[in-house]
Chains A and B, each alone.
Chain A
Amino acid sequence: MSHGVAWQIGGTAGEGLETAGELFAQALASAGQQPTTGRDFPSRIRGGDTTYTVRLTPGGHLAPAAFTDIALAFNATVLPRMAARLAPDGLLLTDDGIEGGTPFPFTQLAADAGDKRSKNMVALGASAALLRAPTEPLRRLIVQRFQAKGEDVAQRNVDAFEAGHALATERFGPRHQLPDARTDRAHFLSGNQAFSLGALDAGCRTAAAYPITPASDILEFLTPRLASIGGTAVQMEDEMAALGVCIGAGFAGQRAVTATSGPGLSLMSEMIGLAEATETPVVIADCQRPGPSTGMPTKHGQEDVLAMCHGGHGEAVRIVLAPTDATDAHRTAVQAFDLADRFHCPVLVALDQQLSLMKQTVGALDARPAPHAPRPSGPATDAWSGSFAPYGDSGAAPEAKGRPGEPAGMHLANSTEHGPNGLTTEDPAVRTAMVQRRLDRLAAIPAATTDAVVVEGDGATALLSFGSTVGACREAAERNDGLRTVAVRLLHPFPTDAVDAALDGVDRVIIVEANATGQFETLLRANLPIHDRIVSVRRFDGNPITSDEILEAA
């Protein structure tokens, strides 16, 4: 059984598949639908088979479809994988000369319209006919897209669209009804884009990163925007340097962000410890992908949970937040900077490939940041003279520190164990007190984190998950009344009380995550006595989990 409607276009990378998919999704979004997108693409620049999927479901949750209803294939090699996903009553259109589907002359109609490269627009026209999608937004978006290349190019593409629409109407007629859901969600964007917007809204003014899939577009997004407002974006020589720049900026009182993926996170682990030891606020996005090592750079996975929460040596204060969708990625970015400033520590934001790259409709992006951390004021004080103890607080509420240029609160941020004045010490009593102080801070964080856990529904079976996998859980709950969804947005320090409360009255806990060893489940088992109630749903083939897989376990 398929849920909602799923549409897919596939062929060779470079055939305009993403253009067609994006335009289709944007047009549907502008008509009040809540499309979500899915991309399956290889780690190479040109060539290779790729697909772009657009789903329409009542809730608009980010999750892939188990089955495709309408598929359009441009080449023979991508066909088997598209056919394997086709719903029993689905329609698979194949370009002329490709065996295995219902033939449709994409290339020929495009050539007749003036340029065979416009076959993606033919496909869009045919798709609009099959789904009875409003054509006006599509025409408008096609013109917008191509008018920079000349009126004639735009017209040729519109002509190709009309030709595809006319022939599909004639041959097949409308095959599907769009979901009724009408939404006021006014934006269409990816999690990486939403996170970046959130960083800007939070007052982040420094970004530094090293290119890595699927995180690269965060720096690319921020660079021109920061440049336009007097901020700084810099591509560094490696991930250690990227985080180093952000830590330096954080020490100087500026909100700073870096973004990376698994391999970069591994390289950053020592620098994360530096930010912890020196109590420097900084925000790090980890756009997870499958590992170990290079793994599968363009595929999906949630395999960095334990590395994010515990990676690196020693024990100190860090926060790991996990947004569930694009709207939440925006809010979480703002929350991450606020928490970093409030608790003087690094905050990691766990994104994943699906959340980072796939687009969806988003409502109001109205999260507003809290003010920056306060500074000491008054006459000159400094840590060496004993007039200022930057680390002399009790832990739960860090002492306000001076910033370079400010006479009050001058101090040393010290990676070496230090006493309340920040100066190096190996005194056992002081060391013990400083460790306890950091643990006290950790303990204060869950209660101070808004929406550390988000519960929807009250069924006795709970779908417990984090990150973009929550989308599939919410979709499963939309399809089956007896389910409760529990999204854990704070992975570290673990919000034990909130999760415990969320599981009140639950007799089965289905833990859903995109890794093989149950890293998220490990956090739960370590903190809650639920061992006898757990069912595990795990997927680690590089693709996100579907609501169908979850419903099978439920």
Chain B
Amino acid sequence: MTERTWKDLQGKDPIWCPGCGDFAVLRAMQNAVVAEGLAPHDVVTVTGIGCSGTLTSSMRTYGYHAVHGRSLPVATGIKLASPDSTVLVAGGDGDGYGIGLGHFMHAARRNVDLCYVVMDNQVYGLTKGQTSPTTDPEMTTKASPLGPMANPVNPLELAMAAGASFIAQGFSGQAKQLTELVRAGIRHPGFAVINIQSPCVTYNHLNTYEWFREHVEDVTHDPADEAAAWAVVHDRSKVPTGIIRQVERPVFGGRARPDDSDGKDWAKPFEVRA
């Protein structure tokens, strides 16, 4: 059998604009699955809604295209019922840190074994350019002519606060590192969140490839060192890339257990006859 390549994992062509950062994320996920030696049918890709949500059509694995913000609960159910599958979840900043923020925090603290890839482009793309939870205060849009009028959330700080056991950040302009981050997230037992700076070439003219190239900086600290990780995520002068935090915590669910229901008489305790 010939060796599998990313092309074997390519489904429908993506609908993204030419130059979109999401192409690199899709390729990184495909490359990571290949590099980890996973068969496509042993992988489930789950998405929500938005430009990011359309990724499931392009990823030739089992797929679940859920509704806006609810990919993580669905992925949790898949992982709990099919513990031997590798469950990848892909979303955007609106999907994960806006409408789905509650699920993000709880999935992180529950530590389900999922690899959650967030394509963070600081803007709502598919609805044509509204502010998102990570939008820079300087950015103005049709719906927010004065800007978002709110502090941007820092996904890495959120993930730290929720106790995520694996936190990384990548940049679509650094494809090789992206693949390595997704591979590490797949291998990590527990909830792995990888925030990926994935520029929107159509609606975000502030946070461009060029802007990111000026601001990204690979981290050098020990991801097991919590205080060092906090220091990195608090430093807003840079966009840190690499594995920021990694720690072993008990994983929710775990391996499949054989069904042990034979001979159970569930109704017995409700018998009333002496």
B183 at the interface (CB under 8 A from A): no
For B86, the closest partner residue in chain A by CB is A404
A384 adjacent to B11 (CB under 8 Å): yes
Residues on B with beta carbons closer than 8 Å to the beta carbon of A208: 77
- Of the listed stretches B167-175, B188-196, B253-261, name the one at the interface; the rest are far from the partner chain: B253-261
- Complex: chain A residue closest to B110, CB-CB: A234
A226 to B98: give the CA distance in the assembly, Å.
Answer: 34
Query: B258 touches which one: A225, A230, A365 (CB < 8 A)?
Result: A230
Q: Which residue of A lies closest to B259 (CB)?
A: A230
- In the bound complex, what is the Cα–Cα distance between A246 and B106 (angstroms)? 16
A30, B272: Cβ atoms under 8 Å? yes
Pairwise interchain contact B77-A405, C-beta atoms closer than 8 A = no
- Give B188 Cβ to nearest chain A Cβ, in Å: 19
> Which residues on A sit within 8 Å (CB–CB) of B11?
384, 412, 423
Residues of A within 8 A of B80 (CB): 206, 232, 234, 245, 248-249
| Interface size bracket, B side | 35 or more
Our pick among A193, A234, A362, A412 for the contact of B65 (Cβ within 8 Å) is A412
Expressed in whole angstroms, the Cα–Cα distance for A415 and B79 within the complex equals 19
> Could you tell me the distance between the alpha carbons of A29 and B272 in the complex, rounded to whole angstroms?
6
Q: Which of B66, B77, B106, B270 contacts A249 (CB 8 A)?
A: B77
For B77, the chain A residues whose CB sits under 8 A away are 206, 208, 244-252, 256
Given A225-B266, A244-B77, A404-B62, residue A205 in contact with residue B259 (CB < 8 A): yes
Q: Are A361 and B74 in contact (CB under 8 A)?
A: no
Q: Which of A158-202 contact B (CB under 8 A)?
A: 186-189, 193, 197, 200-201
Is chain A's binding surface mostly helix, strand, loop or mixed?
mixed
Q: How far is the CA of A203 from the CA of B261 in the complex (A)?
A: 9
Is A274 in contact with B67, judged by CB distance below 8 angstroms?
Answer: yes
9-residue interface stretch from A235-243, A338-346, A466-474 = A235-243
- Say whether A402 contacts B41, CB under 8 Å: yes
- Identify which of B41, B256, B264 contacts A407 (C-beta below 8 A): B41
A407 to B78, CA, bound (A): 17
Residues on the B chain within 8 Å of A201, using CB: 266
Point out the residues of chain A lying under 8 angstroms from B70, CB to CB. Answer: 240-241, 244, 270-271, 274
B205 to chain A, nearest CB (A): 29
Residues in A197-239 with C-beta less than 8 Å from chain B: 197, 200-201, 203, 205-206, 208, 225, 228-232, 234, 236-238
What are the interface flags for B63-77 relative to A under an 8 Å C-beta threshold, 1 for contact and 0 otherwise?
111110010111111
B-side contacts of A365, CB under 8 Å: 267
Among the stretches B21-29, B52-60, B144-152, B216-224, the one at the interface with A is: B52-60
**Chain B residues with CB below 8 A from A455, complex form:** none
Nearest residue, chain A, Cβ from B261: A229
Beyond A188-B270, A246-B77, A247-B74, 16 additional contacts (C-beta under 8 Å) are: A30-B272, A230-B259, A231-B259, A243-B73, A244-B77, A250-B77, A271-B70, A361-B272, A403-B62, A405-B84, A412-B64, A413-B63, A415-B67, A423-B57, A424-B12, A424-B57
5 CB < 8 A contacts A-B: A186-B272, A241-B70, A384-B11, A423-B57, A424-B57
